[in-house]
Amino acid sequence: MVRKKKFCWCVSVLMGIAMALLVTGPAAGAEKYPSREIELMVPWSAGGATDVVFRTFAAVVPKYLGANIIIVNRPGGGAVPGYAEAMKKKNDGYYTLAWATPSLTKVHMSVTPYDHKTFDPVIMVVHNPCWILVPENSPYKNLKDYVAAAKANPNKISLANAGAGGGYHLVALAFESDLGLEFVHVPYKGGGPSIVATVAKQVESVMCSPPEGFPQVKSGELRALGVFSKKRLKDFPDLPTGEEQGVKFYMGMWRGVAVPKGTAPAKIKKLHDAFKATMKDPEFLKLADKAGFLLEYKNTKDFGKFVEEQNQYYMNLIKKKKLGDRYK
């Protein structure tokens, strides 16, 4: 009888220990990440280059991330409202944002509530050269025609951009400054609206970068005058670079993913690895090629260094050209 009681007592103790281990062990309370959908904020309108890039990623990333990516657009104000809103979001790994060139240009054009250190980088995924597009019936057939007309008619040719103080606006300002030109700059609430306005002939030209304007150039609604890169675009082998036309000007737009400051490194790594795997996925590569954006990978550390370098570059450029009002 005593032995039976001892046996029952031992079994009870062992079961208690096992239950305690299950409850208080290393895996207890550990969050499965991600366990729900993740928001990715794009501070520009739907249809713009950045929006197209991340909607394309969102179609394939779940395969490697294990959760859906929901794109939320917050356009207007040179991306300031979108990034200002992002500053207030939780750093729990379920909020991410499109981190792109205009995020740096705007902070040096005027005072903003954020700077290049406000968010933590995750991964860089795209780097596209800028190009100038005009309506299909434009008198400008190439960059030579366009530049010659702008020199002969200062402050006459309208040049659209995706937002005052944004990346394309700054590229346009740098373009006119480097070549001694003067344009009528027309800002829109994102790349998509600026393309629509150019197709509708509300403006004479637009500064943007692939994939913006890609479908319209292919369909003949818009004409590309030249691309500001060292090499021609694969999808437009007959389109000469600016350098080939005597215009030595090189600028482009990079795009990547960032998160609110203080997001756990393990979650950043999970996001990074999913986006990196997507960049190699055959299905995604077909979609990216069709959309016309150029992939360029930088890991979390290298992306952070790149952002620092870009920030310094744009700060120096804006000060030198006396653009905006921040440094006046």
Collapsing DSSP to helix, strand or coil, 4 comes out as helix
Q: Per mean pLDDT, which range of 18-32, 62-76, 134-148, 191-205 is the poorest? A: 18-32
Identify the residue with better confidence: 310 or 7: 310
pLDDT 10s digits, 261-280: 999 999 999 999 999 999 99
> What is the spatial distance between Cα 49 and Cα 166, in angstroms, rounded to a whole number?
13
The whole-number pLDDT of residue 76 equals 84
> What is the spatial distance between Cα 137 and Cα 97, in angstroms, rounded to a whole number?
38
> What is the spatial distance between Cα 89 and Cα 120, in angstroms, rounded to a whole number?
13
pLDDT band, residue 31 (cuts 50/70/90): confident
pTM of the model: 0.76
> What is the spatial distance between Cα 15 and Cα 327, in angstroms, rounded to a whole number?
70
Q: Where are the alpha helices (DSSP H) in the chain?
A: 2-24, 49-58, 62-65, 80-86, 102-109, 143-152, 167-179, 191-199, 214-219, 265-278, 282-291, 300-321
The whole-number pLDDT of residue 167 equals 82
Q: Per mean pLDDT, which range of 1-5, 43-47, 180-184 is the poorest? A: 1-5
Burial class of residue 5 in the structure, from the number of CB atoms within 10 Å of its CB (0-12 exposed, 13-18 middle, 19+ buried): exposed
Q: Count of alpha carbons within 13 Å of 240, Cβ hemisphere only?
A: 11
Identify the residue with better confidence: 323 or 131: 131
pLDDT band, residue 180 (cuts 50/70/90): very high
The whole-number pLDDT of residue 78 equals 80
pLDDT band, residue 29 (cuts 50/70/90): low
pLDDT exceeds cutoff 90 at 49: no
The whole-number pLDDT of residue 294 equals 86
Collapsing DSSP to helix, strand or coil, 60 comes out as coil
